């Protein structure tokens, strides 16, 4: 426990600075070959920006938007509450790290809901009628902010920090057959590249009911830490055994589809900290992440 405490203190000192200095990196050259759709002809992806989101299409999720556009998807930003009208004509709704106004700059407990009950009902009905939802909720406070929305689809978020190797906390790698469920159609699509590994960059772990299909599963010995303040850990911090818990999963819901992930940086490309090291799909240790992202979007769009 002492080694873990010292390691997490060191991680906090590094990442508390990184969190405040995350910038989008749009210099990547990765392009799908071939793209799923002709330019501008694919489904409309609506990226949420109406709920104090840490990741939006015009900022930290800009690389995600560029990658999707290169695959032929159309991308727009949402600045409205979720209603049947605001979701009309949308192919895929992307919600990445929404948070309440109370927690936008105060990353302490409690983490208040980011969505109203009416919005949750609207999103649920929209998916049930054929919509596709990509819900991404990172470490505290984002997991707590999206708990109510996730729950209506059978996913049970935690409001903490997940580590597969508590003695050496940091990015996690899910390899085919070792955390990455190789049989999943996102990992092994009928058309497109097979995914060998996926790298994530410190998020939450969650549970799902039996109707969900696991995609990224934590190994034995993984933990979730539940601090009162983000990135601040000590020997009294609540610690849960997260062996077998998930950081990615999907399910079909009515006529629609849902993909849920507990980490956001894997879906974009960022320059982090004063030294601007690469985090996300341009990380040198994440060669399959761009294709994985497109496989997720294509599965949601039911193109494979």
Q: What is the DSSP string of 126-171?
A: HHHTT-EEEEE--TTTHHHHTHHHHHTTTEEE-SSEEES-TTS-S-
pLDDT value, residue 272: 86
Strand-strand pairing, 223-226 and 197-200: unpaired
Q: Which residue has the higher pLDDT, 16 or 140?
A: 140
**What value does the mean pLDDT of the chain take?**
93
Please give the model's pTM, rounded to 2 decimal places. Answer: 0.94
Query: Using the 8-state DSSP alphabet, how is residue 82 labeled?
Result: -
Helical H runs in the chain?
2-20, 62-70, 117-128, 142-145, 147-151, 289-300
Q: b vs e for 202-230, b when ≥16 Cβ sit within 10 Å of the residue's Cβ?
A: bbbbbebeeebbbbbbbeeebbbbbbeeb
Cis peptide before 141 (omega within 30 of 0): yes
Beta bridge partner(s), residue 239 = 225
Average the pLDDT over 167-174 and give the result.
89
Average the pLDDT over 116-121 and give the result.
98
pLDDT value, residue 275: 80
Cβ(157)–Cβ(204) below 8 Å: yes
pLDDT value, residue 179: 98
pLDDT value, residue 193: 87
Structural tokens at position 49: 């920006």
pLDDT value, residue 2: 44
pLDDT surpassing 70 at residue 1: no
Chain-centre distance for alpha carbon 273: 21
pLDDT value, residue 195: 98
Cis peptide before 110 (omega within 30 of 0): yes
Cα(276)–Cα(274) distance, integer angstroms = 5
Q: Among 136, 175, 176, which Cα is nearest to 297's?
A: 136
Cβ(161)–Cβ(107) below 8 Å: no
| pLDDT (tens digit per residue) in 227-250 | 999 999 999 999 999 999 999 999
Cα(104)–Cα(54) distance, integer angstroms = 8
Q: Among 86, 83, 115, 85, which Cα is nearest to 99's?
A: 115
Average the pLDDT over 19-34 and give the result.
86
Percent of the chain with pLDDT over 90: 87
Query: Using the 8-state DSSP alphabet, how is residue 195 labeled?
Result: P
Quickly state the pLDDT bin for 191 (edges 50, 70, 90): confident
Query: What distances in angstroms separate CA 51 from CA 55, 56, 96, 104, 140, one per listed residue?
Result: 10, 10, 10, 9, 16
Computed on alpha carbons and rounded to an integer, the radius of gyration of the chain in Å comes to 18
pLDDT surpassing 70 at residue 29: yes
Quickly state the pLDDT bin for 30 (edges 50, 70, 90): very high
Cβ(90)–Cβ(74) below 8 Å: no
pLDDT value, residue 190: 84
pLDDT value, residue 204: 98
CATH tag for 2-300 (out of 1.20.140.10, 3.40.50.720, 3.30.70.3270, 3.40.50.880): 3.40.50.880
Quickly state the pLDDT bin for 168 (edges 50, 70, 90): confident
Which 3 state secondary structure label does DSSP give 13?
helix
């Amino acid at each position: 426990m002492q080694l873990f405490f010292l390691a997490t203190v060191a991680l906090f000192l590094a990442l508390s600075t990184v969190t405040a200095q995350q910038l989008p990196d749009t210099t990547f050259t990765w392009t799908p070959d071939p793209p799923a759709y002709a330019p501008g002809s694919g489904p409309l992806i609506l990226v949420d920006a109406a709920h104090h989101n840490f990741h939006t299409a015009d900022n930290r999720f800009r690389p995600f938007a560029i990658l999707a556009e290169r695959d032929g998807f159309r991308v727009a930003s949402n600045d409205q509450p979720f209603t049947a009208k605001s979701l009309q004509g949308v192919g895929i709704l992307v919600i990445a790290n929404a948070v309440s106004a109370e927690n936008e700059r105060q990353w302490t407990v409690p983490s208040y809901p980011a969505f109203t009950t009416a919005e949750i009902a609207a999103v649920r009905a929209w998916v049930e009628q054929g919509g596709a939802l990509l819900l991404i909720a990172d470490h505290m406070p984002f997991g707590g902010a999206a708990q109510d929305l996730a729950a209506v689809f059978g996913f049970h978020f935690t409001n903490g920090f997940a580590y597969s190797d508590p003695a050496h906390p940091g990015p996690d790698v899910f390899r085919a057959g070792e955390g990455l469920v190789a049989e999943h159609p996102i990992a092994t699509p009928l058309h497109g590249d097979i995914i060998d590994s996926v790298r994530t960059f410190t998020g939450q772990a969650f549970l799902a009911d039996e109707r969900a299909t696991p995609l990224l599963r934590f190994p034995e010995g993984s933990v979730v830490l539940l601090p009162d303040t983000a990135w601040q850990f000590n020997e009294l911090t609540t610690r849960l055994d997260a062996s077998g818990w998930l950081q990615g999963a999907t399910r079909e819901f009515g006529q629609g589809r849902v993909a849920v992930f507990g980490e956001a940086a894997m879906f974009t490309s960022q320059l982090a900290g004063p030294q601007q090291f690469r985090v996300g799909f341009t990380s040198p240790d994440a060669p399959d992440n761009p294709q994985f992202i497109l496989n997720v979007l294509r599965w949601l769009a039911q193109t494979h």
